[in-house]
Structure 1
Amino acid sequence: MKTWMRPSWMSCCATLRLLPHPHPPMSPTLLPSTTPDLLSWLLQSTLCLGACWLLYRYVLRQERFFHYNRRFLQFTPWLALLLPRLVSAGLEYWPAEPASGKAGAVLSGGLLPGPTVQAVGSALYSLPQWLPLLYYTGVLLMLALLGARVLRLWLRTRHLPRELRTGYVLVRTGGQLPTSSFGRWILWDETVPLTPAEAQAVLAHEIAHVQQGHTAEKLRLELVRALLWPNPVVHLFPRALAQVQEFMADAQALRTTSPATASPTIYASLLARLALRPYQPNVPLTQSFTQSLTLARIRMLTQSSSARHWKQWLLLPLGTALLAGVAACEKAGELPPPPPPTVAEASLVPPPPPPALYTADEQSPGYPGGQAQLMADVLKQLKYPLAAKKAKLSGTVFVRFVVNEQGRIQDAEVLKAPSGSNGAVEALKSEALTAVKTLPGRWTPCQRNGQAVATRYTIPVQFALK
């Protein structure tokens, strides 16, 4: 029975093992390591996050579904971080295989490990070398600043008296720090003149921050902010998340306090009075009752309109559009489609249907000396084209070919190549195609039911600038 098989280097060559070789193929990574990949990733992540921010800013921000907005602000930066890399890895390691017009049964050998050729003599202080270094330096600096803020908070509170209570730790600041919260700590300024009912409302607000895990959410957002630091949109998210967290804590405080302060009007008056007290030093990474977006909180407390929950579903079409847009950007470097047939060509008899792909169940094919020798032979044929060096073009060229029943290579073609100037791209494609076509070794063809069967393979040839 003829069956289709997904491209995989294990599909036909079940016993063909991945042997170590001097230049292993690049594996997909979370963050890019070359300048073209870095610039493409930053552009796509900025577009993704910018679209999400516009949706929040003009559609979701004024609504009262706080839990949804909190999740939206937490996870969309991670979506912008991961989506371009996942789409890029998927398109790069599973390139689409157009049907071949060659008659006869052809096995799918799938993707083989590919070599990497580096350009020797490129500029030592060139732009492609320093942009990734600059990016990772910025990431480390952002993480170091975050660690310094946490350390500063710990140093300012380590000698203050503490009281262990159910679900939180009360840290009395004696006027040195404002009332706020961090993790399980509630920093309590007992010098503020409050009635027992007002103190209960303020404490309920800070307890809400502790119970809902707002500090962990802030730290996770700061982490993705460090990873996306060149993206200007990501720096708008921390303040927006802090605002939503304050809305949620206010709502819980109104539900859990006594009727004397449960009225939104009374609670808003308390909030305004405390906000107008003399300036107090800000404590990083804490949720402060008296310094957090006061006017927006009062407006939300006194707002009576109901939430329009249909707006929550707008994320689905936006996410679909972003996925399609990122995939389109990644495919921009692929080969253009063939030109439409002329009138004379259209009148010809259509080509035969593509050959069926069989599942190999007997002897697997192989290259003399194994895959290590295959990679070494490909590298011997490769040189970094001068036109690609001058254009500072790097990337992966996918070459597909067929090993026929006699073990010879035929029908070699380029499936995908990096985008750039036409001359440089054509030079990379020509070099990779020639290297595969001129391989000196003769393959052992795949055997099925005792007969040799042609097998199709794809090799990724990586060109990297030093």
Structure 2
Amino acid sequence: MPPVILYLLKANLVLLLFFIAYRLLLRQLTFYSYNRFFLLAALALAGFLPLLDISWFYAKPAQLHTGLTILLPDWPAAHAAPVQEAAPSYWHWVLITYLSVVAVLAARFILQLCSLWRLHTSSVVAAWEGQAYRELREEAGPFSFWRTIYLNPRLHSPEELRALLLHEQAHVGQFHTLDVLLGQLAAILCWFNPIAWWLQRDMRQNLEFLADGQVLRQGLDRRSYQYSLVQVGRQPQGSGLVMSFNFNHIKTRIMMMNKQESSSLQKLKYLLLFPGLLAMALVVTTSKAEVPLPAAVNSTNVLEQPASKALPDSIVYFVDGKRTPAESIKNIDPNQIDKVDVLKGEKALEKVNEKGVKGVINITLKKGDGTRSTGKGARVDASVSAGEMVKAAENLPQDAVYLLNDKETSLQEVKKLSPESIKAVSVVKDSDKMVQKYGAKAKNGVVMIYTK
């Protein structure tokens, strides 16, 4: 699954959790400022939590051990079939569809901004009883955007104008446009989720509750104000980006204005609900399966690597008994290698007693012009580093022969070995003697491991 799709799924799960809690427990409360914070927090956490990395919480302390890493050759035949480029998966088309709809909705958003700008440029600055606004020429209902109020005074009586300006000034003073724009952005990015659209609608409705409460606290008559709402709500509405009167919400707004204020004890719901929702959101956006845990350290790391991989400086190399610089090892034809012995610990120090040496690799070249394998040559690179985490490789060929203390064993048993218990490792390929002794499987190589 593409990371973008996974992120969106997690973000929408967070929106779902907060929306259900709001609808069931908070929507009917008259603490509109708290509800505004709650809904804005839902949007912020939905965008942030899926990006949060809390792997430190799950990770276990690293254990310092000495590990052995062995790099083995690429065992398949040299003439392996070429890798074909994978065809686009259905996730590819899902992502294209998602981005296409986002592009359409974003274009619609830009057109709404352009329409609003057209209204702004065609309006003129005016004032009524000291309250500044922009006078519209069109027959449109009053609305506000950011710090500006727009209305057509010819459509309203003086009593309505006072109520309308107080209402829109409440939107302007509390920066309600910010909530509207964030809700629009969430709906665009989460267009496939109806919760995002319902949450945007509830955010706008709660902002109207806030503005209505502010107007009534200014001393305006409740019945007169509610009558003005009904009259103005029937007029043409502005863009979806602005704070305008919406006739569909008038009935709900009047009910909330007439409702008795909620008890202060109900505020405990926010205190208890928010931390619980935050914990649930963390659970649904982060799982242990996603956190990379330290690999088991009591195993041997056996990996296939290309011959061009840089060799560690802390390893000493011998070719046919002669000490050889690491850079010269890269020039050896892998097909000329007969056997490679890997020494560690005391075994390595017996051969080279120097500070900083972590291992010894003894390479024996083939003699004469014997038959050469068509496969890629054997090359072994070993390193021993304190505190390095090593893990069992999964790409070692199952059909090679493995010997543990000269007794044939399986790859699974080899992976169970503790690095501390390994004294030396030898890798032999293209050996007729091994084929005669262990059968056709020895053609793929023989790995001999000796324990302490």
Judge same fold: TM > 0.5, yes or no.
yes
Equivalent in 44, 52, 55 of residue 21 of structure 2:
55
Cα distance change of structure 1 residues 83 and 458 upon mapping to structure 2, 3 Å threshold: farther
Per-residue deviation, 1:157:
3.2
Higher relative contact order (Cα pairs below 8 Å, separated by 6+ residues): 1
Question: In structure 1, the residue corresponding to 2:239 is in which secondary structure?
Answer: coil
For 2:270, give the aligned amino acid.
Answer: Q
Q: Which residue of 1 aligns with 2:304?
A: none
Q: Which residue of 1 aligns with 2:240?
A: 284
Per-residue deviation, 1:154:
1.1
Per-residue deviation, 1:197:
3.6
Q: CA separation in 1, counterparts of 2:267 and 2:148?
A: 34
Q: Which residue of 2 aligns with 1:130?
A: 93
For 1:143, give the aligned amino acid.
Answer: A
User: Is the contact between residue 177 and residue 283 of structure 1 (CA under 8 Å) also seen in structure 2?
Assistant: no
User: Is the contact between residue 135 and residue 152 of structure 2 (CA under 8 Å) also seen in structure 1?
Assistant: yes
Per-residue deviation, 1:183:
1.5
Q: CA separation in 1, counterparts of 2:97 and 2:358?
A: 48
Per-residue deviation, 1:99:
6.2
Normalising by structure 1, we get a TM-score of 0.57
User: Is the contact between residue 136 and residue 152 of structure 2 (CA under 8 Å) also seen in structure 1?
Assistant: yes
Q: Which residue of 1 aligns with 2:172?
A: 210
Per-residue deviation, 1:441:
4.2
Cα distance change of structure 1 residues 36 and 215 upon mapping to structure 2, 3 Å threshold: same
User: Is the contact between residue 246 and residue 292 of structure 1 (CA under 8 Å) also seen in structure 2?
Assistant: no
Q: CA separation in 2, counterparts of 1:439 and 1:254?
A: 84
Q: CA separation in 1, counterparts of 2:48 and 2:379?
A: 38
Per-residue deviation, 1:254:
1.6
Question: In structure 1, the residue corresponding to 2:30 is in which secondary structure?
Answer: coil
Cα distance change of structure 1 residues 456 and 175 upon mapping to structure 2, 3 Å threshold: same
Q: CA separation in 2, counterparts of 1:138 and 1:232?
A: 14
Q: Which residue of 1 aligns with 2:11?
A: 45
Structure 1 position 368 matched with structure 2 position 317: no
Structure 1 position 306 matched with structure 2 position 262: yes
User: Is the contact between residue 237 and residue 245 of structure 2 (CA under 8 Å) also seen in structure 1?
Assistant: no
Per-residue deviation, 1:302:
0.6
Cα distance change of structure 1 residues 369 and 301 upon mapping to structure 2, 3 Å threshold: farther
Q: CA separation in 2, counterparts of 1:98 and 1:244?
A: 48
Per-residue deviation, 1:171:
1.4
Structure 1 position 77 matched with structure 2 position 36: no
Question: In structure 2, the residue corresponding to 1:187 is in which secondary structure?
Answer: strand
Q: CA separation in 1, counterparts of 2:28 and 2:145?
A: 26
Question: In structure 1, the residue corresponding to 2:286 is in which secondary structure?
Answer: helix
Q: CA separation in 2, counterparts of 1:439 and 1:64?
A: 75
Q: CA separation in 2, counterparts of 1:107 and 1:225?
A: 53
Normalising by structure 2, we get a TM-score of 0.58
Per-residue deviation, 1:250:
0.9
For 1:312, give the aligned amino acid.
Answer: Y
| 1:350-382 deviations in Å (ceiling 9; x for gaps) | xxxx9xxxxxxxxxxx96389xxxxxx9xxxxx
Structure 1 position 96 matched with structure 2 position 28: no
Equivalent in 99, 111, 135 of residue 148 of structure 1:
111
Per-residue deviation, 1:408:
6.0
Question: In structure 2, the residue corresponding to 1:321 is in which secondary structure?
Answer: helix
Equivalent in 142, 165, 180 of residue 179 of structure 1:
142
For 2:286, give the aligned amino acid.
Answer: A
Cα distance change of structure 1 residues 253 and 458 upon mapping to structure 2, 3 Å threshold: farther
Q: CA separation in 2, counterparts of 1:442 and 1:282?
A: 72
Per-residue deviation, 1:169:
5.2
Q: Which residue of 1 aligns with 2:52?
A: 86
For 1:227, give the aligned amino acid.
Answer: L
User: Is the contact between residue 225 and residue 234 of structure 1 (CA under 8 Å) also seen in structure 2?
Assistant: yes
Per-residue deviation, 1:75:
2.4
Q: Which residue of 1 aligns with 2:162?
A: 200
Q: CA separation in 2, counterparts of 1:408 and 1:60?
A: 67
Gap runs ≥5 in structure 1 = 1-34, 109-118, 339-353, 355-365, 371-376, 378-402, 410-437, 446-453, 462-466
For 1:228, give the aligned amino acid.
Answer: C
User: Is the contact between residue 170 and residue 185 of structure 1 (CA under 8 Å) also seen in structure 2?
Assistant: yes
Q: Which residue of 2 aligns with 1:66?
A: 32
Q: CA separation in 1, counterparts of 2:147 and 2:248?
A: 19
Greater Cα shift, 240-249 or 306-315: 306-315
Per-residue deviation, 1:325:
3.4
Q: Which residue of 1 aligns with 2:232?
A: 274
Q: CA separation in 2, counterparts of 1:288 and 1:170?
A: 14
For 1:202, give the aligned amino acid.
Answer: L
Per-residue deviation, 1:189:
1.7
Per-residue deviation, 1:83:
1.4
User: Is the contact between residue 237 and residue 246 of structure 2 (CA under 8 Å) also seen in structure 1?
Assistant: no
Per-residue deviation, 1:333:
8.7
User: Is the contact between residue 265 and residue 302 of structure 1 (CA under 8 Å) also seen in structure 2?
Assistant: no
For 1:225, give the aligned amino acid.
Answer: A
Two-structure CA RMSD over aligned residues (Å): 4.0
Aligned pair count? Answer: 308
Q: CA separation in 2, counterparts of 1:240 and 1:408?
A: 68
Q: CA separation in 1, counterparts of 2:12 and 2:379?
A: 43
Cα distance change of structure 1 residues 240 and 167 upon mapping to structure 2, 3 Å threshold: farther
Q: Which residue of 2 aligns with 1:321?
A: 280
Q: CA separation in 1, counterparts of 2:30 and 2:190?
A: 29
For 1:249, give the aligned amino acid.
Answer: A
For 2:210, give the aligned amino acid.
Answer: M
Per-residue deviation, 1:214:
0.9
User: Is the contact between residue 106 and residue 188 of structure 2 (CA under 8 Å) also seen in structure 1?
Assistant: yes
Per-residue deviation, 1:236:
1.1
Equivalent in 131, 136, 139 of residue 102 of structure 2:
139
Q: Which residue of 2 aligns with 1:219?
A: 181
User: Is the contact between residue 201 and residue 254 of structure 1 (CA under 8 Å) also seen in structure 2?
Assistant: no
